[in-house]
Structure 1
Amino acid sequence: MTHLIYGLYAIVDTGVVSPNHFHNAASEALLGGANLIQYRDKNQSPKQRYEQATDLRQLCSQHNVPLIINDDIELAAQVKADGVHLGKNDGSLLAARQALGEKAIIGISCYNELSRAIAAWEAGASYIALGRFFPSITKPKPIFVSLELLKEVREKIPLPIVAIGGITPQNALPIIQGGADAIAVIGGIFRHQNIRHQAMAYKKLFPS
């Protein structure tokens, strides 16, 4: 393994994980083998977002795992996160790099767009995310990525690829074999009663 973007990428989404279960859920994912944690929140107050992101920062530091903040460059800078993940309307890669520094991990959602993936690579992204691959509660929009597109991106772009969208331990293997370096999971872990066991099931899919 030559980079940090590998294996299970657990997204702790406040739309799925309740506040009173937040710390324990993230901790269980880390104990189960998550190699990265992303904090994703769309609805809470700035105060609560800061408190939860700070808590995750401490947890991830204890496990020596990078923390990525979804969408919010300012919050990532405030809590000294390892990086940020940006969608189409979440600020520019250049702004994120200026705010977070040259060593920051900056991921870009590329959906099913090869041209966007190439542009992200040329602009200096740390990784690109493709998805969704399967029907997903968290990602309901009708954007699908085929294995053929994944393989094309893998051939053309020498960046880590994160696959997302309805990926389970049962359907993940063709995606990993097709070129994905990491599998990003929300409901596939955090909607399960035994989060640690579910995380371990994903982790086993990747060579150590």
Structure 2
Amino acid sequence: MAGMKLVDYRVYLVLDPDLCGGLAGMLRVTQAALAGGAGVVQLRAPQWKKRQWVEAGLALLPLCRAADVPLIINDHVDVALAVGADGVHVGQQDLPVALVRQLMGPDALVGLSVSDAAEMTALEGGAVDYLGVGPVFATTSKPDAAPALGLPALKHLMPGPGVPLVAIGGIAQHNAADLIACGIDGLAVISAICAAANPEAATRELVSLFGVNA
């Protein structure tokens, strides 16, 4: 049933091919993050051609399967279907989540980006498994992102519509604890892991902020 899947959203790794150094670097970072306790891996490469997406997805899938962690494809349902990924994350301007659910099937994970209360309440019933809320802080990873919410606005959105809420945007070790204190279910991180000198240690530190050792 959508919204009821048992997924560990606490540390949600969003891969950036530029920060990781291409496909080889993405595989290295993914292996390290999985060892550190990452519970979700998302492939996001907006500058890539579809063939590169498929190549990366097929390479990442065995790593995620071995760790029993879902692989999510950002935006592209066709890529997710082609590589056998576990789900898709879409934004407000992408395919409607009800259509994504129809295409991906009832067992897939479907995530949706939201940035305000109106977007959170305008959900199509049962189609979404989790929400990506943000950007909470300013970020350079997505130039067209909405203005940063900040902690007061994030607190106002809690506890949310009954599905896990994953914060995204400018999240790092120095501000992650504040987000967790707001009641957020997970942290979607890019540079905090992809650009870390030790991605495994960086992931483990973020997991530990939830009070659980990886």
Q: What's the counterpart of residue 34 of structure 1?
A: 38
Please point out which of 139, 146, 149 is paired with 1:136. 139
What is the alpha-carbon distance in structure 2 between the residues aligned to residue 81 and residue 138 of structure 1? 23
Q: What's the counterpart of residue 92 of structure 2?
A: 88
Pairwise CA distance, 1:166: 1.1
Cα 1:122–1:149, aligned 2, differ >3 Å: closer, same or farther? farther
What is the alpha-carbon distance in structure 1 between the residues aligned to residue 126 and residue 114 of structure 2? 13
Pairwise CA distance, 1:15: 3.2
Please point out which of 42, 50, 54 is paired with 1:50. 54
Tell whether 2:118 aligns with 1:115.
yes
Q: What's the counterpart of residue 184 of structure 1?
A: 188
Matched-pair contact (CA < 8 Å) for 2:29–2:193: no
Cα 1:33–1:5, aligned 2, differ >3 Å: closer, same or farther? closer
Please point out which of 173, 176, 201 is paired with 2:177. 173
What amino acid does structure 1 have at the position aligned with 2:6?
H
What is the alpha-carbon distance in structure 1 between the residues aligned to residue 37 and residue 124 of structure 2? 28
Matched-pair contact (CA < 8 Å) for 1:121–1:157: no
Deviations 1:119-161 (A, max 9, x none): 1263621111111122222134451113333233223411100
What is the alpha-carbon distance in structure 1 between the residues aligned to residue 132 and residue 160 of structure 2? 15
Pairwise CA RMSD: 1.9
What amino acid does structure 2 have at the position aligned with 1:206?
F
Runs of 4+ in 1 over 2 A off after TM superposition: 120-124, 139-142, 146-156
What amino acid does structure 2 have at the position aligned with 1:38?
Q
Pairwise CA distance, 1:57: 1.1
Cα 1:105–1:142, aligned 2, differ >3 Å: closer, same or farther? closer
When normalised by structure 2's length, the TM-score is 0.89
What amino acid does structure 1 have at the position aligned with 2:34?
L
Where do residues 138-177 of structure 1 align in structure 2 (5 Å cutoff)? Answer: 138-140=141-143, 141=145, 143-177=147-181
Pairwise CA distance, 1:164: 0.7
Aligned residues: 207
Please point out which of 201, 204, 208 is paired with 2:208. 204
Matched-pair contact (CA < 8 Å) for 2:132–2:165: yes
Q: For residue 122 of structure 1, give the secondary structure of its aligned residue in structure 2.
A: coil
Pairwise CA distance, 1:5: 4.5
Tell whether 2:79 aligns with 1:75.
yes
Matched-pair contact (CA < 8 Å) for 1:11–1:38: yes
What amino acid does structure 1 have at the position aligned with 2:87?
G
Q: For residue 110 of structure 2, give the secondary structure of its aligned residue in structure 1.
A: strand
Cα 1:6–1:18, aligned 2, differ >3 Å: closer, same or farther? same
Q: What's the counterpart of residue 21 of structure 2?
A: 18
Cα 1:69–1:142, aligned 2, differ >3 Å: closer, same or farther? closer
What amino acid does structure 2 have at the position aligned with 1:134?
F
What is the alpha-carbon distance in structure 1 between the residues aligned to residue 175 and residue 124 of structure 2? 27
Q: What's the counterpart of residue 60 of structure 1?
A: 64
